Amino acid sequence: MKIYKFLIVLVFLFFYNCQKNISEINFINLYTTTITSVKCENLKKAPSVKNVILSDEENDKLLNNFSKLKPAPNGLNIDARVYGSIYDGSKKLDFCSGIGVIEINNKKYLVDKYLRDNLITLTQGKR
């Protein structure tokens, strides 16, 4: 009986360690204009949000983009258009972004040209 419990635990641990983390982005059209800025919490509730599951290469490219960003000055807000999560190994990075500012794990950064172009490519179906 003990051997069966051990085997069950061993199989469970094997499958648990083999699970792949799924990176994804959710977005509305980046060129959409609104009268007031869209908060991340409101974007997550919007019915017209589209979803894209990212490949490992797309995850790594975003991770590389994120690593080069400069911190945003205090007081800048995000007019949200994109949110999602990517993985740096086993570490999950949650983000929410507009055209000029992105928040990654509760820290704000300025969106540079490379990240902006990458987000446009991912969200406009030109992958």
Assign a CATH topology to domain 20-123.
Dna Ligase; domain 1 (3.30.1490)
* Per-residue pLDDT tens listing for the chain (127 residues): 666 555 565 455 455 445 568 999 999 876 667 767 889 999 898 888 999 999 999 999 999 999 999 999 999 999 999 999 999 999 999 999 998 999 999 999 999 999 999 999 999 876 5
The model's pTM is: 0.79
**3-class SS string, the chain:** CHHHHHHHHHHHHHHHHHCCCCCEEEECCCCCCCCCCCCHHHHHHCCCCEEEECCHHHHHHHHHHHHCCEECCCCCCCCCCEEEEEEECCEEEEEEECCCEEEECCEEEECCHHHHHHHHHHHCCCC
Domain spans, the chain: 20-123
CA–CA gap between residue 23 and residue 59 (Å, rounded): 7
Q: Are 111 and 100 in contact (CB under 8 A)?
A: yes
